[in-house]
Structure 1
């Protein structure tokens, strides 16, 4: 148990910077959460800045397509810095792509577009907060209820003052932009290049720029001709991809410009119509369900109360079964009501983000 609150359930994975566990939160909603445990025991104080920075950064980022932050602390041994975030039951996008490829399948274009738009909107929000992710890749993108969530801000960097570049050379080679590989600095357009590489990966189920060894990969990124998306995907989507991996960052679109590309804007408009329809019908369903529940169960709950008031008397098996049935029905009503509320609030957030 960490911080007298988080009970470790099982290990989810590990990386260069830490180990990730699923845990149970004994406080609040008691939902499954994730603890990222970062070893700092042998580091100098100034070397723990990345971990503290990640926690501070996550705590102020509020977006439906960014992993939600809950808590951070140093454990009792003073050796581990822990960050608590929401649990994404769908795993990471990299695992999803590998699984799809192993099954000999592909990701439908409408799904690719949905995830792509969510990713772009999340990055647009980051950039509006003067934040660069700097390590966007499929392993750092998670799925929760089939929606994209960007995570792992361990090497993100806040843009300071009016300076739009961060010179630190870090990240994953497959997703690095030409200007980063040439040590020309990293800016918001470099994140856009990475999203383009992720778009290709969702379609082709392999890296956009690959080769035998690091130098071969770097050469293809800097000098090579970008590949086309597989033929099963539309020319419109291929044009979106090509527009995001223009080698000159000055000619590469920003996140806002990506959302204004005709094919992307059209998909977002259709999504907006669907969300409006879904939200309106969801509200009507909740009102209808609650009204019928109230009318039907008001008398049934009174009868159940009568049964329970007679607890000193012996109840027949049929009466006991009736009480159990009513209790289960009320639990299901509460569950559906909470689910409807969560979906409504999430869709309102997405509508607001699409409109902006």
Structure 2
């Protein structure tokens, strides 16, 4: 009875993918790929602009996995999807989501990832008792984030889109993992990177048009610390009439740390963007 129930759930999930695609052959191809690779597909656990994420099971060892099913309508798109897997696959760190496998069919690319049963940082903060984390909890999670960032940079990888929606917090809120490497790039000698990611998390020099560097990841990580400790970003783009006004505020105005300000931040110790690198 149990195996029949799981099979019906898997068939239901495959049917959902089938409805989202242009033809039924895509779902059939995906089903064959999953079976051949010994993955069972269960319920949908997430959705984005380019695809859906499902909880799955690797039947060889009963390991829970996340199957990220992405649209891939041509070879160039497939290559872009594979890039996320290749960048992530080379990283092995307890605070980084692990890439396990990569599958393709006619119009889908499937990235198989380690499964996290928690929630993203933005959701976890909203669920917190006061709408933000305690100092001790923030310190614990931020340390893990910076250890992950330091490790990525040691491997010459820049994430470029560290934000609350891309950080996964365990159900007990004691463990953090960095995920969603869609915009990540491996640094090549002499190469440059284009601006990408989320504008509100962009470092001052990136807002000025410079190529993202390791400092971009550090800056956006600091903004995630602000979210942990206050429940929100220090600045929202929609609060400014123009991008220029937002950019000026990022460069010249100190961040309001709310209730933490008087305790930890002395005015003479404030660091402005113009001070960094001087």
Q: What TM-score range do you get, normalising by the shorter chain?
A: 0.7 to 0.9
Q: Does the Cα contact within 8 Å between 1:190 and 1:249 map onto a contact in 2?
A: no
Q: Distance in 1 between matches of 2:261 and 2:136?
A: 10
Q: Does 2:228 correspond to 1:202?
A: yes
Residue 162 of structure 1 deviates from its aligned partner by 4.8
- Which residue is equivalent to 1:180? 206
Larger Rg belongs to: 1
Query: Does the 8 Å contact 2:131/2:231 carry over to 1?
Result: no
Q: 1:117 to 1:234 in 2, by over 3 A?
A: farther
The equivalent of 1:298 in structure 2 is: none
Normalising by structure 2, we get a TM-score of: 0.78
Report 1:183-332 matches (<5 A).
Answer: 183-212=209-238, 216=242, 219-224=245-250, 225-232=253-260, 235-236=263-264, 246-247=273-274, 250-251=277-278
Please list the CA deviations of residues 260-286 of structure 1 after superposition, one character each: whole Å capped at 9, or x if unmatched.
Answer: xxxxxxxxxxxxxxxxxxxxxxxxxxx
**Which structure shows the bigger proportion of residues in helix conformation?**
1
Q: Is residue 120–residue 166 contact of structure 2 (8 Å, CA) maintained in 1? A: yes
Matched, 1:52 2:68: no
- Counting only pairs closer than 5 Å after superposition, residues 341-352 of structure 1 correspond to structure 2 as none
Q: Is the contact between residue 204 and residue 273 of structure 2 (CA under 8 Å) also seen in structure 1?
A: no
User: Given the alignment, which residue of 16, 34, 44 partners 1:3?
Assistant: 34
Which residues of structure 1 form unaligned runs of 5+?
A: 252-356
User: For the residues of structure 2 that align with 1:238 and 1:132, how far apart are their CA atoms?
Assistant: 32
Q: 1:242 to 1:186 in 2, by over 3 A?
A: farther
Q: For 2:270 and 2:65, how far apart are their aligned partners in 1? A: 38
- Shift in Å, 1:62: 0.6
Q: CA deviation at 1:230?
A: 2.3
1:34-56 CA-partner distances (Å, limit 9, x unpaired): 01111112x3x223332111111
Mapped contact 1:208–1:226 kept (Cα < 8 A): no
Cα offset, 1:214, TM superposition: 6.7
Show the counterpart of 2:161.
135
Partner of residue 36, structure 1: 68
Secondary structure of 2:110 counterpart: strand
Measured after TM superposition, the shift of residue 104 of structure 1 is 3.7
Given the two structures, how large is their TM-score scaled by the length of structure 1?
A: 0.62
- The question of 1:119 aligning with 2:156 is answered no
Q: Paired residue for 1:79, among 90, 107, 125?
A: 107
Please say if residues 126 and 132 of structure 2, whose CA atoms lie closer than 8 Å, have aligned partners that are also in contact. no
What is the aligned length? 240
Residue 115 (structure 1) shift: 0.6
Q: Distance in 2 between matches of 1:236 and 1:89?
A: 34
| Higher share in strand | 2
CA distance in 2, matches of 1:11, 1:233: 41
SS in 2 for 1:57: helix
Structure 1 residue 223 displacement after superposition: 3.2
What corresponds to 2:58 in structure 1? Answer: 25
**Structure 2 unmatched ranges of 5 or more:** 1-30
| Cα RMSD after superposing both structures | 2.5
Match of 1:125, SS state, is helix
| 1:68 Cα deviation after fit | 1.3
Distance 1:171 1:157 in 2: 12
| Conservation of the 8 A alpha-carbon contact between 2:46 and 2:54 | yes
Deviations 1:174-230 (A, max 9, x none): 111121122122111111110111111111111111143675466234335132312
